[in-house]
Chains A and B, each alone.
Chain A
Amino acid sequence: MKTARQFSILAAGLALALSAPMPATVAQDAAKVNVTLKDHKFSPAEPTAPAGKPIAIEVVNLDSTPAEFESKALRVEKVIPGGGKITVQVRPLSPGRYRFFDDYHESTTEGFLVTQ
Chain B
Amino acid sequence: MLGALIIVFREVIEAGLIVGIVMAVTKGVRGSRLVIAAGVTAGVVGASLVAAFAGAIAEALAGVGQEIFNASILLIAVVMLIWHNVWMASHGRELAADVKRVGEAVRTGSRSVLALGVVCAVAVMREGSEIALFMYGLGASAGSTSAELLIGSLLGLAAGVGVTALTYLGLATIPQRRLFAVTTALISFLAAGLASQAVLFLQQAGVLTMMTETAWDTSAILSDTSLIGRVLHTLIGYSDEPSTLQVVAYVTTLAVIVVLTKAFGSRRATTAKGRHAAAG
Say which one of B13-21, B95-103, B133-141 lies at the interface with A: B133-141
Q: Can you list, as one digit per residue, whether each of B43-84 has a CB less than 8 Å from chain A (1) or not (0)?
A: 000000000001100110011101100000001000100110
- Decide: B63 and A87 in contact? CB cutoff 8 A: yes
Interface size class of B (residues with CB under 8 A): 35 or more
> What's the least CB distance linking B123 to chain A, in Å?
16
- Contacts A7-B83, A72-B225, A73-B241 given; indicate if A84 touches B55 (C-beta within 8 A): yes
A46 within 8 A of B: no
Residues 66-90 of A at the B interface (beta carbon under 8 Å): 66, 68, 72-73, 75-84, 86-89
Contacts of A2 in B (CB 8 A): 90
- Decide: A80 and B58 in contact? CB cutoff 8 A: yes
Residues 15-49 of A at the B interface (beta carbon under 8 Å): 18, 21-27
Between A and B, how many residue pairs show CB distances below 8 Å? 112
B266 within 8 A of A: no
* Chain A residues proximal to chain B, CB less than 8 Å: 2-3, 6-7, 10-11, 13-14, 18, 21-27, 54, 56, 64-66, 68, 72-73, 75-84, 86-89, 91-92, 103-104, 107
* Chain B residues proximal to chain A, CB less than 8 Å: 3, 7, 54-55, 58-59, 62-64, 66-67, 75, 79, 82-83, 86-87, 90, 108, 111-112, 129-130, 133-134, 136-137, 140-141, 200, 203-210, 212-214, 219, 223-225, 240-241, 243, 256, 260, 264
